[in-house]
Chain A
Amino acid sequence: MNDWLEAAERALAAAEADEAEAVIHAERSGLARFAASQIHQPTLVDNAVVRLRVVRDGHIGAAATNRLSQEALAELARRAAEAADSARPDPGFPGLAPAAPTPEIEGYDEETASLSPEGLASLARGALDESGDLGLYGYATAGTTALAVASTSGQRAEQRATDSTVLVLAADHGASGYAEATGWRVGELDAAAVAREAVAKALRTRDPGELEPAPYRAVLEPYAVAELLDYFAFDAFNGLGLVEERSYAAGKIGERVFDEQVTLVDDPLDPRGLPRALDFEGTPARRVPLVEAGVLRGAVWDRATAARAGRESTGHAGPPEFRMYGAVPSSLSLTPGDASADELAEVVGDGIHVTRLHYLGIVDPREGILTGMTRDGTFRIRDGRRAEPLPNLRFTVAVPELLGEVPALGRELALVNGSDFYGERIARAALVPALATARFNVTGIGGGPGL
């Protein structure tokens, strides 16, 4: 990829402002999407976006472009200045991020960065060759991103990162199973193993039994745990929701609200995840404790929300156009327990097993209530063992209740992809174990497994 820091410096030099910050986010990626065991939507993306935020006499404006010529950068500077001059002064502006070293992290792999279209197709075929009698649906993707920041406050920082995911749904009209693997080294992904896991899961889902809506004890696989935490964290561990006193965590910091086995951090520096050194304001990323032994400890912050709360940014600012949503955790990590998969089922005894969730909705952010469906591997647990398959289940859960009694956590951690790659490629993933909960509230029944 190019020298993005140098390009950010050029954008900064074009600014006509008292203060300015230039941020470049570049992507080169490929995604081989497959359905019915054939690659049908192979997509290559190459883009770079430069964002310029300027401060002129206390007025702030921002503009962005993906044209990087000198002429385009001058035009960008003019639009940013025009936006600032049209805005009203922002007395709460905390200033640009000061110059600060970013942490030394891993997260870039040359093999992943240089993966060719042929290599990506080959990765996908590694999964497709394991389809057996089922159709495989999903994708193999690999991408390189760069984030470079230059500002008049003296900050100069750049991170290059790679990410890759193989995601497989194995299905026919009566069965479906799901598996995925994510990492920043494509060479560590075993596409065939992912497919075999999905196929094996699918083959156990035929002829689902019945279930009455009611609260059940349950085992949630890492795929389900990651998505549940991701939706809950969007509000609960978001500094904006805290400072505006409307999120679940507002007024509860320091209180024990979850089972004492629950310890959750947002750790962008963990090499087992998708490491991130800085945010879109140039602030170095930090590890942030969110829950310690069931006690709420904090949230993540960008500069504006942190200033309102009298705190420091934790390096969790997103692109300016998303800042209205506040700062959002990007690297959730739930501390594992010591239970094997069989032991989790034993702890549950009589309940259900959930592989994956679908289409979650936030019903009440203040109470942490979410709804959604299970899919692609929902089973009854009887006598401490996984039993017959079940149809897709609608659940409506208060996450604090679900995490309020956690009899056991799995000992194996899985890195679960959290990005659907909308817009610019901002890779994110959660590092989580499976868990057992005493309360998973099933409120309705959907269709059976399969297509």
Chain B
Amino acid sequence: MRALCAEALDAAVAGGAAYADARALSRRDQVVATRNGEVLTVNDQESEGIGVRVLVDGGWGFACDRRLTEEGAREAASRACAFARAAGGGRRRLAPVEAQSAEYGTPMRVDPFAISVGDKVGLCLGAEEGMRRDGVIVTSATLRAFRERKLLATTDGVEADQERVECGGGIQAIAATDGVVQTRSYPAGFGGWSGQAGWELVEGFAFERESARVGEEAVALTRAPVCPAGRTTVVLDADQMVAQLHESVGHPIELDRILGTEAAYAGTSFLSQADLGSLQYGSELMNVTADATLAGGLGSFAVDDEGSPARREAIVEAGVLRRFLSSRELGGGGSMRADSWNRMPLVRMTNLSLEPGEGSVEELLADVDEGVYLETNKSWSIDDKRLNFQFGTEAAWEIKGGKRGRLHRDATYTGITPPFWASLDGLAGPEHWVVIGATNCGKGQPGQVAHVSHGASPGRFRDVEVGVHA
């Protein structure tokens, strides 16, 4: 793969490129899914190819080829140069990076691909069995394993050989009572959580311990009252905090969005470049960090997809906006990631975390006379500037007199980003802080999916509008 990247760079320079990067990549993605006691999917997908990005006459071009051959590498470079010329050039420049040779491998104890498919199926079916009870109409379980080796070479002297391993999974029960249908998931919906780690991550989920609770709560939700509407105090669990962080902080701080590059699709941002160092994003408890070196994070690497080294940077400090996620073209770097060999790198989140506060979840609740504790993201939507959001969660626990009370269903809450974060007045401590990875962050045209992680602990927000109904 090293030689192929060199071949592609040579061809790009010969084709007129002032800069080029080539990524030769090979990946394997395995999914085991069961549903209602039957094996739904045992799928093992591999993909490989080379993608070449060139800067010709100040304009970008990108092309790719699924063949990891010299011919494939040269043709991809040649087509990328041709498309760059046709597209009409420009005045794009890149911030410099130091030439370096880097290697990276995921720290792990147990290779997820060393676990047999049979054992994975057994784990899924066992979890399903644990969830099954009267009232549950659907049980399902999903496990995934992922390995990717990527060789990056750039014309400014960066070469990186990186191998990442991920795994994860989740379980879900759907229950119905008198026409009310409710879902309960663990550790999260939408396929669960993932991390850049070995199988020990999945073992830590302890599905055998949690499955009965998931089934019980699914049934209980069908009999629970609808979450009352009104303005109240909410405490978000770590899973919902991550969703909130991702949508209302992670995307708005992407500098390409701020500059309009994503305007037609994902949208822009309420932030402007002039806000750096002055905008009060949230309360003083709000400290947000972008960290591509975070252990277990899906966004960890040695160098990004245009050769910038991994870094840890403060994004929000004591509520004040300090930095954006950026690229070399936009004057920074360290956040450029491509979905695969057949996509251009874009400005993406790496591992974006809300740093922990102090104390326990019980202490957060203790200071709430009336409110609601919201668990496990169920739905999300936010406007194109990332201001007006609405989320739904699977479970909502009444808080009365500082204690968790009755279960409610169909909880939603809505707000506007800066005042919402300004209302953050409690954040649980490091012992409640978890790193949660998701593999479904969409952006770009053609669409790209990024695997990103977030660290967060439960947090308390005051005067939030809860219960938005059709």
Residue of A with least CB distance to B117? A86
Q: Is A82 engaged at the interface, CB distance under 8 Å to the other chain?
A: yes
Q: Is the CB of B261 within 8 A of A66?
A: no
Q: Is B279 engaged at the interface, CB distance under 8 Å to the other chain?
A: no
Q: Is the CB of B267 within 8 A of A83?
A: no
Question: Which residues of A sit under 8 angstroms from B383, Cβ to Cβ?
Answer: 358-359, 373, 375, 392, 394, 446-447
Question: Which residues of A sit under 8 angstroms from B381, Cβ to Cβ?
Answer: 359-361, 371-373, 394
Q: Is the CB of A137 within 8 A of B260?
A: yes
Q: Which of B39, B82, B140 contacts A117 (CB 8 A)?
A: B82
Question: Which residues of B sit under 8 angstroms from A365, Cβ to Cβ?
Answer: 181
Query: What CA separation (Å) do A47 and B383 show in the bound complex?
Result: 34
Known: A83-B43, A90-B38, A420-B442. A394 touches B264 (CB 8 A): no
Q: Is the CB of A83 within 8 A of B117?
A: yes
Q: Is the CB of B392 within 8 A of A394?
A: no
Query: What CA separation (Å) do A448 and B100 show in the bound complex?
Result: 46
Residue of A with least CB distance to B118? A86
Q: Is the CB of B39 within 8 A of A42?
A: no
Residue of B with least CB distance to A83? B42
Question: Which residues of A sit under 8 angstroms from B88, Cβ to Cβ?
Answer: 38-39, 121, 125
Question: Which residues of B sit under 8 angstroms from A233, Cβ to Cβ?
Answer: none
Query: What CA separation (Å) do A167 and B447 show in the bound complex?
Result: 14
Query: What CA separation (Å) do A372 and B449 show in the bound complex?
Result: 21
Q: Is A433 engaged at the interface, CB distance under 8 Å to the other chain?
A: no
Q: Is the CB of B42 within 8 A of A84?
A: yes
Question: Which residues of B sit under 8 angstroms from A38, Cβ to Cβ?
Answer: 59, 88, 90
Please encode chain B, from 388 to 426, with 1 for each CB lying within 8 Å of some chain A CB and 0 for all others. Answer: 101010000000000000000010101000000000000
Shortest C-beta distance, A41 to chain B (Å), equals 6
Q: Which of B44, B137, B388, B445 contacts A245 (CB 8 A)?
A: B137
Q: Is the CB of A42 within 8 A of B43?
A: no
Q: Is the CB of B39 within 8 A of A90?
A: yes
Shortest C-beta distance, A245 to chain B (Å), equals 6
Residue of B with least CB distance to A421? B446
Query: What CA separation (Å) do A169 and B260 show in the bound complex?
Result: 11
Query: What CA separation (Å) do A35 and B258 show in the bound complex?
Result: 12
Question: Which residues of B sit under 8 angstroms from A41, Cβ to Cβ?
Answer: 60, 62, 261, 344, 444-445
Q: Is B79 engaged at the interface, CB distance under 8 Å to the other chain?
A: yes
Known: A43-B343, A244-B137. A63 touches B38 (CB 8 A): no
Among B59, B63, B120, which residue has the most Cβ atoms of chain A within 10 A?
B63
Q: Is B212 engaged at the interface, CB distance under 8 Å to the other chain?
A: no
Q: Is A434 engaged at the interface, CB distance under 8 Å to the other chain?
A: no
Q: Is B138 engaged at the interface, CB distance under 8 Å to the other chain?
A: yes
Q: Is A413 engaged at the interface, CB distance under 8 Å to the other chain?
A: no
Query: What CA separation (Å) do A321 and B43 show in the bound complex?
Result: 7
* A8-16, A263-271, A343-351, A437-445: which lies at the interface: A437-445
Q: Is the CB of A39 within 8 A of B87?
A: yes
Shortest C-beta distance, A317 to chain B (Å), equals 12
Shortest C-beta distance, A173 to chain B (Å), equals 9
Shortest C-beta distance, A136 to chain B (Å), equals 9
Question: Which residues of A sit under 8 angstroms from B49, Cβ to Cβ?
Answer: 47, 66
Shortest C-beta distance, A56 to chain B (Å), equals 12
Known: A64-B44, A359-B384, A422-B442. A46 touches B66 (CB 8 A): yes
Among A60, A244, A401, A447, which residue has the most Cβ atoms of chain B within 10 A?
A447
Question: Which residues of A sit under 8 angstroms from B83, Cβ to Cβ?
Answer: 30, 32, 42-44, 117, 120-121
Q: Give the interface SS of chain A, mostly helix, strand, loop or mixed.
A: strand
Among A39, A44, A320, A392, which residue has the most Cβ atoms of chain B within 10 A?
A44
Query: What CA separation (Å) do A373 and B383 show in the bound complex?
Result: 6
Q: Is B295 engaged at the interface, CB distance under 8 Å to the other chain?
A: no
Question: Which residues of B sit under 8 angstroms from A88, Cβ to Cβ?
Answer: 39, 121, 125
Q: Is B458 engaged at the interface, CB distance under 8 Å to the other chain?
A: no
Q: Is the CB of B44 within 8 A of A167?
A: no
Known: A63-B43, A137-B260. A394 touches B174 (CB 8 A): no
Q: Is the CB of B40 within 8 A of A324?
A: yes
Q: Is B109 engaged at the interface, CB distance under 8 Å to the other chain?
A: no
Shortest C-beta distance, A246 to chain B (Å), equals 5
Q: Is the CB of B388 within 8 A of A373?
A: yes
Residue of A with least CB distance to B392? A363
Q: Which of A33, A141, A169, A401 contacts B470 (CB 8 A)?
A: A401
Q: Is B232 engaged at the interface, CB distance under 8 Å to the other chain?
A: no
Query: What CA separation (Å) do A357 and B265 show in the bound complex?
Result: 11
Q: Is the CB of A444 within 8 A of B137?
A: no
Residue of A with least CB distance to B447? A422
Shortest C-beta distance, B199 to chain A (Å), equals 15
Q: Is the CB of A444 within 8 A of B86?
A: no
Question: Which residues of B sit under 8 angstroms from A169, Cβ to Cβ?
Answer: 263-264
Q: Which of B82, B142, B414 contacts A443 (CB 8 A)?
A: B414
Please encode chain A, from 246 to 282, with 1 for each CB lying within 8 Å of some chain B CB and 0 for all others. Answer: 1000010000000000000000000000000000000
Question: Which residues of B sit under 8 angstroms from A315, Cβ to Cβ?
Answer: none
Known: A246-B137, A362-B379. A422 touches B446 (CB 8 A): yes
Question: Which residues of B sit under 8 angstroms from A367, Cβ to Cβ?
Answer: 470
Q: Is the CB of A62 within 8 A of B387?
A: no
Query: What CA separation (Å) do A359 and B380 show in the bound complex?
Result: 8
Q: Is the CB of B264 within 8 A of A167?
A: yes
Q: Is A65 engaged at the interface, CB distance under 8 Å to the other chain?
A: yes
Q: Is A99 engaged at the interface, CB distance under 8 Å to the other chain?
A: no
Q: Is A87 engaged at the interface, CB distance under 8 Å to the other chain?
A: yes
Q: Is the CB of A324 within 8 A of B142?
A: yes
Shortest C-beta distance, A184 to chain B (Å), equals 18
Q: Which of B60, B86, B412, B446 contacts A45 (CB 8 A)?
A: B446
Query: What CA separation (Å) do A44 and B142 show in the bound complex?
Result: 33
Shortest C-beta distance, B1 to chain A (Å), equals 14
Q: Is A31 engaged at the interface, CB distance under 8 Å to the other chain?
A: yes
Question: Which residues of A sit under 8 angstroms from B62, Cβ to Cβ?
Answer: 41-44
Query: What CA separation (Å) do A305 and B316 show in the bound complex?
Result: 48
Known: A61-B42, A401-B470. A46 touches B64 (CB 8 A): yes
Question: Which residues of B sit under 8 angstroms from A443, Cβ to Cβ?
Answer: 390, 414, 468
Query: What CA separation (Å) do A120 and B63 show in the bound complex?
Result: 14
Shortest C-beta distance, A20 to chain B (Å), equals 15
Query: What CA separation (Å) do A139 and B262 show in the bound complex?
Result: 11
Q: Is B84 engaged at the interface, CB distance under 8 Å to the other chain?
A: yes
Q: Is the CB of A87 within 8 A of B87?
A: no
Query: What CA separation (Å) do A52 and B262 show in the bound complex?
Result: 37
Query: What CA separation (Å) do A86 and B122 show in the bound complex?
Result: 10
Known: A38-B90, A422-B449. A138 touches B47 (CB 8 A): no
Please encode chain B, from 41 to 78, with 1 for each CB lying within 8 Å of some chain A CB and 0 for all others. Answer: 11111111100000000011111111000000000000
Q: Is the CB of B66 within 8 A of A47?
A: yes
Shortest C-beta distance, A37 to chain B (Å), equals 11
Q: Which of B92, B412, B445 contacts A363 (CB 8 A)?
A: B412
Query: What CA separation (Å) do A262 and B413 show in the bound complex?
Result: 32
Q: Is the CB of A396 within 8 A of B469?
A: yes
Q: Is the CB of A42 within 8 A of B87?
A: yes
Known: A44-B64, A362-B379, A451-B260. A396 touches B44 (CB 8 A): no
Residue of B with least CB distance to A246? B181
Known: A38-B90, A40-B261, A398-B470. A31 touches B445 (CB 8 A): yes
Q: Is B385 engaged at the interface, CB distance under 8 Å to the other chain?
A: yes
Question: Which residues of A sit under 8 angstroms from B59, Cβ to Cβ?
Answer: 38-40
Q: Is the CB of A40 within 8 A of B176?
A: no
Q: Could you show 11 A-B contacts with beta carbons less than 8 Å apart?
A: A39-B59, A40-B261, A41-B445, A48-B66, A63-B43, A88-B125, A358-B383, A359-B381, A364-B392, A396-B412, A446-B388
Chain A contact residues, CB within 8 Å of chain B: 29-33, 35-36, 38-49, 51, 60-67, 79-80, 82-84, 86-88, 90-92, 116-118, 120-122, 124-125, 135, 137-139, 141, 167-169, 171, 176, 244-246, 251, 320-321, 323-324, 358-367, 369, 371-373, 375, 392, 394, 396-398, 401, 420-423, 425, 441, 443-447, 451
Enumerate the 3 nearest inter-chain pairs by beta-carbon distance, A residue then B residue, closest first.
A86-B117, A422-B447, A421-B446
| Sample of 14 more A-B contacts, CB < 8 Å, known A44-B64, A120-B83 | A41-B445, A43-B344, A46-B65, A84-B42, A90-B38, A116-B86, A135-B260, A169-B264, A324-B140, A359-B267, A364-B392, A375-B383, A394-B414, A396-B469
